[in-house]
Amino acid sequence: MKTLVLLIIIWPLIGFLINGLFGKWTKKYAGVIAASALGLSFLSAVYPMWQVLLGNIYDYVYFMWMPFGKINIPFGLRLDSLSTVMLFVVTFVSWMIHIYSNGYMKGDPGYARYFTYLNLFVFSMLLLILGDNYLLMFVGWEGVGLCSYLLIGFWYDKKTASDAGEKAFVVNRIGDAGFIIGVLFILFNFHSVTYADVFPFVHQVLTPETATIIGLALFLGAMGKSAQFPLYIWLTDAMEGPTPVSSLIHAATMVTAGVYMVARSNAIYDMSPIAMEVVASVGAFTAFYAATMALTHKDIKRILAYSTLSQLGYMFIGVGVGVYWAGIFHLMTHAFFKGLLFLGAGAVMHSMRGLLSTDLMGGLRKKMPQTAVLMVIASLAISGIPPFAGFFSKDAILAGALDMGHPIIWIVGEITAFMTAFYMFRFVFSVFYGEEKVPNLYHELHTHEAPKVMTIPMWVLGVLSIIGGWVGLHISGEIPIEAFIARTAPTLEIANQAHYSEALIMGISVCIGLLGIFTAWVIYIKKWITADTIANTFRPIYTLLANTYYADEFVYFFIVKPFWWVSEYFLWKIVDVKIIDAGVDLFGWISKRIGWLFRTLQTGFVSHYAYWISIGVMLLTSLYLIRII
Amino acid sequence: MLAAYMFVSVLLFAIGATGAMIRRNFLIVLMSLELMINGAGMSLIVMSYYIGNVSGQVMFLFVAAVAASETAVGLAIVAMMYKNKKSVDINDFTTLRK
Amino acid sequence: MSVEIVVFAILAILAVGGGFGIIVTKNPFRAAMWMVLSFIGSAGIFVMLDAVFIAMLQLIVYAGAITVMIVIAMYTMDKLTLSSLKRFNNQAYFGALFGLGILLDFIVIAAKLKINTAYMGKNLSIAGSNVKAIGDVLFKSYLLPFEITAIVLLIALFGAVALTKKDL
C-alpha cells in the first residue's frame, strides 16, 4: 500500500523524465507516453481511493527530508477524504486532458516539450495535494507555479505569450510571500509543519489573533494562486497558452490549490472568524466582479477565463463561510464542466484555425454537432440547472452562506448566478446557434468536427458534468459528499445556525438560472432587444466593463512605472554607478597609486639606492635604540 | 677613552657613508667605501684592546683582505664604465631605469 | 691633559680631517691624497692601541696598495672627465642629513656600551709582542678563515680579469 501511494506520484515523474531527457527520440510518442503515465497514475490511485472511501486514512512517511534535530520535516504522503477528492479530480481530469492534447497539439514543433511540462505539472500538483506537511505543499505550490509559467509562455517566440507567463509568475510570487509568512508562523508556534502535528493542537497553541494572522497570510498565497482580487490580473493573460493548458491548469487544478489549502487548514480558520470573513468577502467580490467583465467580451477564451475567476470566488465563499465540503464539492464539479468548456473552446479554435472571436462565429452547431451538444451540457451545469452537476454544488454554497449568517453574500451570489447563466448562454448562442456571421468563412477554413481523440475525453467529462453532482443528493438523511469530506474538514459549527427551507432556496436558485438563460435567448436568438442597443444605452458602463475596469492600466501606472523609475534612476544611476562601482574602482585606484609609488622609487640612479639603504640602516638602529633607551 | 675611540670610529663610518651617497664621481665613491671599512675596522681594533682578546685584530686582518679584493673588482668595473661611456659620473649610468 | 690625550687628538683630527677631505674635494687625485692622510691617522691610532703590526699592515695594504691601485686606475682616464663639473648629487642635502642621522644613531649606541674591562690592554703583555699574539691565534684557531680569505683574494683576481676581458 505504501508503495502504491508513492507510485501515484511517481508515474508522472517518470513520464516527465522520459519526455524531458529523451524527447528528441520519443518525438512522435511523447503524447502517448505522457497520457499513459497519467492513466497508470489514476489506476494506481483507484484502490487507495476506494479504501479511503471505506473509512481508512493513510499517512506514510518515506524519508526524513529535513532533519534539524528539534524540528524535523518529513517527506510523506497523506491520503484522507479531502486529498482523495482532490486526487480523483486531478488524476482523472488530467488524464482526459492528456488524451485530448494528443489531438490538439499534433504537429506543433514543441510537442515533446509540451508533454514534459504537463507531466511535471501533474507531479507537482499531486505533491501539493498529497503532501503531509505545509512545506511539501509549498514545494508542489511552487512547482505548479513554475509549470504554469512554462506552459503559458509555451510559444515563447510570441511576445504576448512570454509576457503573460512572466506576469503570471510575478503575481503568483507576491502571493507566495504571504504563504511563506503563514508557514513560518506555523513553524514557529508548533515547531512542526506536519498536518498531524498541527491541526489536533490548534486550540492549545494558537490564540484567535495568531490564528487570524496565519489565516490571512496563507490566504494571501491563495489569492495569488487562485487569482482572487486583486491578484487576478494574470489569469486572463494566461489564455495565451495552449487551450488544454488553460483547461487543466487554469480551470481544473492549479487555481483550485488555494481552495484546497484553505479547506485543509480548516482547524486554523475555524478559530478566526475575521480571517474567514475576509476569505468569504474577497471570494464574493471576485465572483461578482469577474462575472460583470465576462458580460462584454468577445474572445471565447477570455469569457471562460472570467468565468473561472467567478467560480473560484464561489469556492472561496464556500470555504470562507465554513461549509468546507461545499467549496470542495464545487471544485470537483467545476473541474468537470469548466474543463469541458475549455476543451470545447479548444475544439472550436482547432477547427477555426486559431480564430477565437465570437464576431466571426455563429451557427457552428451545423458543422460541429458533438461539440455543440457538449457545450450546452456544460453551460447548463455551470448555470446551476438541475439535474446537472453545477446545481448541487452551487446551491450547497449559497445555502450554506445564508445558513451561516451571511445574507449579503447570498444576495451577491444569486446576482452573480444570474450573470453566469446569462454570459454562458450568450456564449453558446452566439457561437453555436443563429446564422454564420461571416459568410463562407467555414467553407474556406474547412471547419469540421474535432477528431475522436479529442471528442472522447470531452464526452467523458460531459457525462461527469451530468452525474457528478448526484453525490450531493440527500440519500437516507445525509449528503454523501458532505459526510465524506467532513471527516477531514468538518463544517463550522456556529451558534444560531439558521436552517432556511432547502426547497425554497433551491427554487430561487433555479429560477434565477432559468431567467439568465431566458435573457440570453431573448437578446441573442430572438433579437427582441439586440446587444448593441443595450451597449449603447449603457455606454459608460459598457466601456468600463469591456476594458476590464482598466485594471491593467492601473497596475501599470501605479505599480510598474514607479518601480521602473526607482530601479532606473535611483538604484542604477546612484547606487550602482556611484557607490558600488566607485567602491570597486577605489581598489583599482589604490593599486595604481601604490604601483606608481614603487615605480618612482626605481629611478636607476645608484645614489638614490644608496640613500634608501642608509635610511634603512638608520631605521634599524633607531629601533634598536628605542629598546635600550 | 673608550668612548672617544668609538666616537672616532663612528665618525669615520658616517663620513664614508655620506660620501658614498652624495658624490657623483665613482672613484671618490670607492674611496668613501674604503673609509667606511676603515672606520668599522677601527672599532674592531679598539674592542680588541679593551676586551683583551687578540681575535679582534685577526678579524681586522680578514676585513682588510676582503676590502682590498673589493676595491680591485670595483676598479675593474670603473675601467669598464670608462670604456663604455668615457665618463665616471654615476648619473650617466641609468640603464636600470626602464 | 696627559700626553696620551693630546696625541690621540692629533691623530684623530688627521683621520677625520682626511675623511672630510675625501668627500669635499673636487679633484680625485687630491682625494686620494686625503685618503692616504686619513689612513696614516688611523695607523697612528692603532699604534696607540698596542696593535703595531696591524698599524704597519694598514699602511702597507691600505695606504700603499689600495691607494696606488686607485691612482693607477685614474691615470688611464682623461683628466677632464675625472674632474666633472659637478661635485655633488642633486639631493646632496638629504645625503648630508642621512649621514648626520647615521652618525647620531651610532654615537648613542657607542656611548651606551658597557663592557667588561678586566683584561684591558693585556693582549700585548701576555704574548710579548703583537706579531706573536696575532700569529698564535691566526694559524691555530683561525686557520680555516685564513685559507678561505686566500681563496677570496684569488676569486677577486679572477673577477677583475673576467670583467675586463674583451670576449669571454
- Which DSSP symbol is given to A108? -
> Are C82 and C127 in a shared domain?
no
Say if B95 is an interface residue toward chain A (CB within 8 Å). yes
Statement: residue C168 has pLDDT above 60: no
> Are C21 and C79 in a shared domain?
yes
pLDDT band (50, 70, 90) for residue C146: very high
> Are C85 and C126 in a shared domain?
no
pLDDT in tens, C82-130: 776 677 777 777 888 888 888 888 888 888 777 777 777 776 777 778 8
pLDDT in tens, A211-222: 888 888 889 888
The reported pLDDT for the residue numbered B58 is 93
Statement: residue A629 has pLDDT above 60: no
DSSP characters over A484-531: HHHTTSPPPP-TT-----HHHHHHHHHHHHHHHHHHHHIIIII-SS-H
Domain B2-84 CATH class label:
mainly alpha
Give the count of Cβ contacts less than 8 A between chain A and B.
Answer: 24
Domain-terminating residue out of C64, C95, C126: C95
pLDDT in tens, A157-202: 888 888 888 888 888 888 889 899 999 988 888 888 888 888 888 8
Statement: residue A62 has pLDDT above 80: yes
Statement: residue B98 has pLDDT above 70: no
User: How far apart are the CA of C147 and the nearest CA of chain B, in angstroms?
Assistant: 10
The reported pLDDT for the residue numbered A529 is 67
Chain A residues within an 8 Å CB radius of B17: 614
Domain ranges, ordered by start, for chain B: 2-84
Q: Do the Cβ atoms of C98 and A615 come within 8 Å?
A: yes
The one-letter amino acid code at A409 reads: I
> Are C7 and C63 in a shared domain?
yes
How far apart CA A543 and CA A339 sit, in angstroms, is: 30
The reported pLDDT for the residue numbered C150 is 95
**Which chain A residue has the Cα nearest residue C100?**
A618
Residue-level length of chain C: 168
pLDDT in tens, C130-141: 888 888 889 999
Flag whether C101 is in a domain. Answer: no
The reported pLDDT for the residue numbered B46 is 92
Residues of C with CB under 8 A from a CB of A: 89, 91, 94-95, 98-99, 101-102, 105-106, 108-109, 112
Q: What's the mean per-residue pLDDT of chain B?
A: 90
Q: What pTM value is reported for the model?
A: 0.68
- Which DSSP symbol is given to A48? H
Q: Give the ipTM of the model, two decimals please.
A: 0.91
DSSP lists the bridge partners of residue A72 as A67
> Are C83 and C149 in a shared domain?
no
Q: Show the cell assigned to A479.
A: 449528503
Statement: residue A477 has pLDDT above 80: no
Domain-terminating residue out of C34, C65, C95: C95
> Are C13 and C63 in a shared domain?
yes
Grid cell 512570454 in the structure block, residue: A162
> Are C31 and C83 in a shared domain?
yes
Q: Are A343 and A243 in contact, with CB atoms under 8 Å apart?
A: yes
Q: Which residues contact A607 (CB under 8 A, 6 or more apart)?
A: B21, B22, B24, B90, B91, C89, C91, C95
pLDDT band (50, 70, 90) for residue A476: low
Chains that touch A (3 or more CB pairs under 8 A): B, C
Q: Do the Cβ atoms of B24 and A607 come within 8 Å?
A: yes
Statement: residue A541 has pLDDT above 90: no
> Are C121 and C91 in a shared domain?
no
> Are C11 and C57 in a shared domain?
yes
Flag whether C106 is in a domain. Answer: no
* A window 335-394, beta carbon within 8 A of C: none
Statement: residue A451 has pLDDT above 70: yes
- Which has the closest alpha carbon to A275: A261, A288, A287? A261
What is the domain count for chain C? 2
Flag whether C108 is in a domain. Answer: no
pLDDT in tens, A427-443: 888 888 777 777 667 67
Instruction: Give how far Cα A352 sits from Cα of A362, A425, A439, A454, Å.
Output: 12, 20, 14, 15
Q: Do the Cβ atoms of B28 and C119 come within 8 Å?
A: no
Q: Are A290 and A307 in contact, with CB atoms under 8 Å apart?
A: yes
Flag whether C102 is in a domain. Answer: no
Mean pLDDT calculated for residue range A601-621: 84
pLDDT in tens, A495-514: 666 676 777 888 888 888 88
Residue C109 is nearest to which of A614, A615, A621, comparing CB atoms?
Answer: A621
pLDDT band (50, 70, 90) for residue B9: very high
Chain B residues within an 8 Å CB radius of A602: 96-97
Mean pLDDT calculated for residue range A557-579: 76
How far apart CA A14 and CA A7 sit, in angstroms, is: 10
Q: Are A317 and A226 in contact, with CB atoms under 8 Å apart?
A: no
pLDDT band (50, 70, 90) for residue A628: low
> Are C87 and C129 in a shared domain?
no
Domain-terminating residue out of C31, C63, C95: C95
Mean pLDDT calculated for residue range B14-38: 91
The reported pLDDT for the residue numbered A496 is 61
Range of the domain at C40: 1-95
When mean pLDDT is compared across A81-95, A233-247, A312-326, A539-553, the lowest value belongs to A539-553
Q: Are A218 and A80 in contact, with CB atoms under 8 Å apart?
A: no
Q: What's the mean per-residue pLDDT of chain C?
A: 87
Indicate the pairing of strand A58-67 with strand A72-79: antiparallel
Grid cell 638629504 in the structure block, residue: C94
The fraction of chain C above a pLDDT of 70, given in percent, is 95
Residue A614 is nearest to which of B21, B97, B98, comparing CB atoms?
Answer: B21
Mean pLDDT calculated for residue range C51-78: 91
pLDDT in tens, A227-274: 888 788 888 888 888 888 888 877 777 778 888 998 888 888 888 888
Q: What's the mean per-residue pLDDT of chain A?
A: 83
Say if B10 is an interface residue toward chain C (CB within 8 Å). yes
The reported pLDDT for the residue numbered A497 is 66
Q: Are A305 and A246 in contact, with CB atoms under 8 Å apart?
A: yes
The fraction of chain A above a pLDDT of 90, given in percent, is 3
Q: Do the Cβ atoms of C49 and B24 come within 8 Å?
A: no
The reported pLDDT for the residue numbered A109 is 81
pLDDT in tens, B57-69: 999 999 999 999 9
* SS3 at position A333: helix
Mean pLDDT calculated for residue range A544-558: 75
The reported pLDDT for the residue numbered C87 is 74
> Are C1 and C82 in a shared domain?
yes
> Are C6 and C70 in a shared domain?
yes
Residue C115 is nearest to which of B17, B51, B62, comparing CB atoms?
Answer: B51
User: How far apart are the CA of A597 and the nearest CA of chain C, in angstroms?
Assistant: 19
Flag whether C139 is in a domain. Answer: yes
* B window 36-55, beta carbon within 8 A of C: 38, 42, 45-55
